[in-house]
Amino acid sequence: MEVIDVDKAEAVANVLKTVGVKRDNYLDPRLYPPPDDPLEDQIGYFVAMTAIDHRTSLWEPFEGIVEGEFFHGADLLYRLGRLAYNRGFFKAEKLAQLRPDEADALLNINGKRVWDFHTRVLLLRDVGKKALRIGGFANIPRDSLKKMKETIKQMRAYEDPVEKKVLLLAKFLDGRRLADFRDIEEADVPVDNHVSRIAYRLGIVDLNYDFLESGVETTREEDIRLRELVKTAWRIVAKFAGLHPFALDDYLWNFGRRICTRENPKCDACPFKDVCKAHSLRRYPPEHLHLATWYY
């Protein structure tokens, strides 16, 4: 039976206090639109891109070279998104009528489409239609996180009960100063594979490693239950550490891709190794397996 280890959460939080966690400003011009562009355009970009920001590969990596620079996974997705933004791709009326051949500019690199190409096209079309229904992206509530959630969850891409994409969008809007949520206490860490894997390895969510290493795919219900547990565990860590959940997520996102990687984690460079369950056992399980989803 998986449980939250509160003592471990406090130990992890104490380490976090020493590593200098900082928020990203989401201003990298390769990945994000200019901050002085019209609100409708900026918000449309983040709503649409977050809607399709889930697993980018199953069998082959989604990666390639764009303008002389190598990008992989979500970085490539946002790099292609940034180029598509320059062509007016993210206008609500255009998304609502999006055709697969038009989506190739965003979801195709060197003739290879992202693995669930047509699902993402349908999600983008739905985003456009729902945005038009409320009069445009800029009409999404941005003064209340609770109200923003209620509105954005009408879009199919954002229906995840654990709210990964909803919280990721809120993080972008908050970090870019495109929103001023008066109820920011509603914020949590958006739970994806990196965040789950780190939680299991550190031991803040304590569960059987044999299960994680078995390669057996979880059901939808099991996946939701586990990710809710992970979200709660990171909320506890954030409170112990005195960190905003969005700042913690920025740190975990980079940490999971560079240090606590799925294969061959770089434990020598890890600040948590002295409190890490996986390191003490010399067992480094992956995140729980749940593949056929657009939730994360």
pLDDT at residue number 131: 98
Contacts of 78 (CB under 8 A, 6+ apart): 31, 32, 49, 53
Kindly report the CATH class assigned to 3-23+187-281: mainly alpha
Tens of pLDDT, residue by residue over 159-215, are 999 999 999 999 999 999 999 999 999 999 999 999 999 999 999 999 999 999 999
- CA torsion sign for 273, 274, 280, 286 is negative
Is a pLDDT exceeding 90 seen at residue 59?
A: no
Angstrom distance (rounded) from CA 105 to CA 209: 41
Residue ranges of the chain assigned to CATH 1.10.1670.10: 3-23+187-281
Q: Which of 128, 23, 135, 28 has its CA nearest to residue 82? A: 28
Pairing of strands 3-4, 205-206: antiparallel
Read off the pTM: 0.97
Q: Are 234 and 8 in contact (CB under 8 A)?
A: no
Answer yes or no: is pLDDT of 1 > 90: no
Residue 241's pLDDT band, with cuts at 50, 70 and 90, is very high
Cα distances (Å, whole numbers) of residue 235 to 13, 107, 158: 11, 33, 21
Phi, psi dihedral angles at 71 (to 5 degrees): -130, 150
Lookup: tokens for 93: 């009326």
Element (H, E) at 260: none
Q: In angstroms, rounded to a whole number, what is the distance separating the alpha carbons of residues 237 and 251?
A: 13
| Tens digits of residue pLDDT in 98-116 | 999 999 999 999 999 999 9
How many angstroms separate the CA atoms of 64 and 49, rounded?
A: 18
Phi and psi (nearest 5°) for 224? -65, -45
